[in-house]
């Protein structure tokens, strides 16, 4: 009897052989529907791989406020928590693992294909030039000026900024690339005016990546005004603010893979 925290990858198509084997032996399967989106990771599809298990969609309330239920079940059953992308990217899952271990439950973490790496792979940008990911939330409860400040700092160090976009799946809301660009520009204008500095994001090359790793994935790079006018398939979406000085291979990759007509070079 154990708790298996399993990375499902960017979509159900990325389930590993290890993940499929655990699903076959599972008594109960929870599908994380809170922290991210993995197309195809739905009850009816998962039941095909877990014919002997009860399959349940796990909400934010269950994962964060009622996690003790999952832990108690793992003392008597083989319980699998299927997580979009890699399993321990969100602190929600780390907390669950630590709590389970502290209560004497056997825990195994099974890595999955990283959704973040899939986004970077779609662009051809150099991995080592990325700073840590940052999350842009809807500016409702507060204005997330810290996101702009972090991007400015990264640009000063000639680093790329991977901006993860707000997901409120319990409200059926997922921020789009177009919304993110608009929000960033509005926040930057306000912060630049307050500090009496020149805006920087407005003149940067941005990269919008939709549904990375999926057959209908789309990558588009260009100035903010270009991305604002672009149409993208449905989320998950991510946004990258590139470093001011692109390596020639990076610029070529963005022109070739992301249709960047404003990138330096040919």
Residue 55's pLDDT is what?
A: 97
Q: Is the pLDDT of residue 183 over 70?
A: yes
> What is the spatial distance between Cα 258 and Cα 266, in angstroms, rounded to a whole number?
15
Q: How far is CA 216 from CA 121, 233, 236, in A?
A: 15, 7, 12
Q: Is the pLDDT of residue 251 over 90?
A: yes
Q: Please report which confidence band the pLDDT of residue 264 belongs to, taking 50, 70 and 90 as the band edges.
A: confident
Q: Is the pLDDT of residue 89 over 90?
A: no
pLDDT tens, residue by residue, 196-234:
999 999 999 999 999 999 999 999 999 999 999 999 999
Burial environment of residue 100 by CB neighbours within 10 A (0 to 12, 13 to 18, 19 or more): buried
Q: Is the pLDDT of residue 265 over 80?
A: no
pLDDT tens, residue by residue, 120-172:
999 999 999 999 899 999 999 899 999 999 999 999 999 999 999 999 988 88
> What is the spatial distance between Cα 229 and Cα 100, in angstroms, rounded to a whole number?
47
Q: Which domains does the chain have, with CATH numbers?
A: 2-113 (3.40.1010.10), 116-257 (3.30.950.10)
Q: How far is CA 1 from CA 128, 142, 158, in A?
A: 40, 44, 49
Q: Please report which confidence band the pLDDT of residue 266 belongs to, taking 50, 70 and 90 as the band edges.
A: low
Q: What value does the mean pLDDT take over residues 177-185?
A: 98
Enter the pTM of the model. Answer: 0.93
Share of the chain above pLDDT 70, in %: 100
> What is the spatial distance between Cα 38 and Cα 138, in angstroms, rounded to a whole number?
21
| Mean of pLDDT over the chain | 95
- Which residue from 77, 30, 72, 23 is spatially nearest to 52, judged by alpha carbons? 23
Q: Please report which confidence band the pLDDT of residue 240 belongs to, taking 50, 70 and 90 as the band edges.
A: very high
Q: Is the pLDDT of residue 173 over 70?
A: yes
Q: What value does the mean pLDDT take over residues 30-59?
A: 94
User: Which of 1-10, 24-33, 60-69 has the lowest average pLDDT?
Assistant: 60-69
Counts for the chain of helices (H) and strands (E), in that order:
10, 12
C-alpha R_g of the chain: 20
CB atoms within 10 A of CB 190: 15
Q: What are the residues whose beta carbons fall under 8 Å from the beta carbon of 182, sequence distance 6 or more?
A: 228
pLDDT tens, residue by residue, 91-123:
999 999 999 999 999 999 999 999 999 999 999
């Amino acid at each position: 009897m154990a708790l298996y925290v399993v990375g499902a990858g960017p979509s159900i198509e990325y389930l590993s052989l290890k993940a499929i084997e655990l699903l076959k032996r599972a008594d109960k399967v929870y599908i994380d529907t809170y922290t991210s989106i993995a197309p195809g990771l739905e009850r009816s599809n998962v039941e095909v791989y877990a014919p002997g298990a009860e399959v349940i969609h796990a909400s934010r309330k269950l994962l964060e406020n009622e996690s003790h239920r999952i832990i108690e079940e793992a003392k008597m059953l083989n319980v699998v928590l299927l997580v979009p992308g890699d399993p321990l990217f969100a602190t929600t899952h780390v907390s669950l693992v630590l709590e389970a271990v502290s209560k004497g439950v056997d825990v195994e973490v099974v890595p999955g294909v990283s959704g973040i790496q899939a986004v970077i792979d779609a662009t051809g940008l150099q991995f080592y030039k990325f700073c840590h990911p940052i999350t842009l939330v809807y500016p409702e409860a507060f204005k997330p000026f810290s996101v702009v400040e972090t991007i400015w700092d990264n640009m000063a160090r000639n680093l790329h900024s991977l901006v993860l976009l707000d997901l409120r799946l319990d409200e059926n809301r997922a921020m789009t690339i177009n919304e993110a660009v608009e929000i960033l520009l509005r926040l930057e204008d306000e912060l630049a005016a307050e500090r009496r500095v020149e805006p920087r994001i407005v003149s940067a090359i941005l990269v919008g990546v939709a549904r990375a790793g999926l057959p209908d994935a789309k990558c588009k790079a260009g100035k903010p005004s270009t991305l604002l006018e672009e149409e993208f398939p449905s989320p998950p979406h991510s946004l990258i603010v590139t470093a001011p000085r692109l390596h020639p291979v990076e610029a070529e990759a963005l022109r070739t893979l992301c249709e960047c007509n404003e990138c330096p070079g040919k």
